């Protein structure tokens, strides 16, 4: 059930824009949620840790638009259904951000020693859940001509030792994004992959336990990219794979 939503969806007029963000309790997800709330987006946010999510929502919420927060695991179909019901209550979904990701074991194991259950779990969260959310949210996304953002990583391309489990799940997600973009072209729904780049987040710390990562920028470094992406027509950018910290963000010709 929705928790800690101050205003239920029906207590206020339908918002003009609705975003659903997974993994919103910290790091990139929280920074993006805060930025969107400031621009008037009504938000559905989720993360696994209940207390941490509630605390994040307190910080995200200004005097602005309503936020529905529902703690849970995106690989759980029942949980996804609850998230989508909250968006349906507002009648639209403009922006779906599949940000929740599982890094797998920490420290990162070499692929030759990766355990099957770990692989399955990482794929469940990083690849299958984002695809399932798009499938389940499709009518809402079509109605809103929405944009789907799947958060990816340079590990999807790199072949970096230790990053095989996570990287392969993100490489699969990249192909999911690209294929969905092509399949949904006629519907007005855009799908992009976004690699936010290295950032000073808990996930990055988990990947490098015990190491000093203070030279990495905070996730706020990606705000200009989000401002740009959200200002483009979803169809114009659809199929793109963007690096949020790159020097150039290009609209595909």
Partner 1 sequence: MRRADLVFDRPEDLFARTPPEKRGRGRDDVRLLVTLPDGHRHARFEDLPRFLRPGDLLVVNESAAIPASLPVEGRMGDILLNLCTRFRSDLWVAEPRWSPGKPGPMPVRPGDELHVGAARIRLLSEYPGLPRLWFALADRPFESIAAEVGGPIHYGYTDAWPMEVYQTEFSRVPGSAEMPSAARPITPRIKGLLEEAGVGFASILLHTGVSSLEIEGETVEGEAMYPEPFSVPRETAEAVNRTHARGGRVIAVGTTVVRAVESAWAPEGVLPRSGFSRLQVNPDRGVHAVDGLLTGFHDPVTSHLALLSAFLGIDGVRSAYTEAIREGYLWHEFGDSHLVIQ
Judged by CB under 8 A, which stretch of 45-53, 169-177, 182-190, 217-225 contacts partner 1? Answer: 217-225
Residue 173 interacting with partner 1 (CB under 8 A): no
Beta strands in 146-220 (DSSP E): 147-151, 190-195
Shorter beta-carbon distance to partner 1: residue 90 or 225: 225
Taking CA atoms, 85 is separated from 9, 44, 53, 128, in Å, by 11, 10, 19, 20
Shorter beta-carbon distance to partner 1: residue 162 or 190: 190
Residue 247 interacting with partner 1 (CB under 8 A): yes
Tokens representing 251 are: 């609209």
Residue 248 interacting with partner 1 (CB under 8 A): yes
Choosing from 81, 175, 182, 251, the residue that interacts with partner 1 (CB under 8 A) is: 251
Residue 140 interacting with partner 1 (CB under 8 A): no
Report yes or no: 15 and 41 within 8 Å, Cβ to Cβ.
Answer: yes
Sheet of 241-243, strands arranged across: 67-69, 42-46, 18-22, 95-98, 147-151, 190-195, 241-243
Judged by CB under 8 A, which stretch of 113-121, 123-131, 178-186, 213-221 contacts partner 1? Answer: 213-221
Residue 218 interacting with partner 1 (CB under 8 A): yes
At 22 the three-state DSSP class reads strand
- Minimum CB separation from partner 1 for residue 132, in Å? 31
Per-residue exposure over 26-41, b if at least 16 CB sit within 10 Å of its own CB, e if not: bbbbbbbbbbbbeeeb
Residue 214 interacting with partner 1 (CB under 8 A): no
Residue 204 interacting with partner 1 (CB under 8 A): no
- Minimum CB separation from partner 1 for residue 233, in Å? 11
Q: Which of residues 224-243 bind partner 1 (CB under 8 A)?
A: 224, 227-228, 230-231
Judged by CB under 8 A, which stretch of 21-29, 98-106, 117-125, 223-231 contacts partner 1? Answer: 223-231
Tokens representing 9 are: 């969806």
Residue 180 to residue 190: CA distance in whole angstroms: 9
Q: What are phi and psi of 40, to 5 degrees?
A: 95, 5
Residue 34 interacting with partner 1 (CB under 8 A): yes
Report yes or no: 191 and 177 within 8 Å, Cβ to Cβ.
Answer: yes
List interacting residues with partner 1 (CB under 8 A).
34-35, 38-40, 62-63, 217-218, 220-221, 223-224, 227-228, 230-231, 247-251, 253
């Amino acid at each position: 059930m929705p928790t800690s939503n101050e205003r239920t969806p029906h207590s206020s007029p339908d918002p003009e824009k609705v975003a659903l963000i997974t993994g919103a309790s910290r790091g990139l997800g929280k920074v993006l949620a805060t930025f969107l709330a400031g621009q008037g987006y009504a938000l559905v946010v989720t993360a696994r840790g209940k207390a941490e999510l509630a605390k994040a929502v307190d910080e995200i919420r200004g005097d602005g638009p309503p936020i529905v927060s529902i703690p849970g695991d995106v690989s759980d179909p029942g949980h996804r259904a609850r998230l989508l019901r909250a968006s349906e209550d507002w009648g639209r979904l403009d922006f779906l951000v599949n940000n929740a990701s599982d890094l797998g074991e920490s420290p990162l194991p070499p692929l030759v020693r990766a355990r099957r259950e770990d692989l399955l779990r990482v794929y469940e969260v990083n690849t299958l859940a984002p695809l399932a959310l798009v499938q389940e949210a499709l009518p809402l996304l079509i109605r809103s001509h929405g944009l789907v953002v799947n958060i990816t990583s340079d590990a999807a391309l790199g072949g970096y030792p230790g990053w095989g489990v996570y990287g392969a799940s993100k490489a699969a997600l990249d192909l999911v994004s690209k294929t969905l973009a092509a399949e949904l072209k006629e519907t007005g729904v855009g799908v992009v992959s976004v690699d936010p780049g290295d950032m000073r987040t808990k996930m990055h710390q988990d990947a490098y336990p015990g190491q000093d990562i203070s030279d990495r920028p905070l996730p706020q470094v990606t705000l200009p990219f989000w401002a740009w992406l959200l200002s483009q027509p979803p169809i114009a950018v659809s199929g793109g794979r963007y690096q949020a910290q790159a020097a150039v963000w290009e609209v595909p010709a």
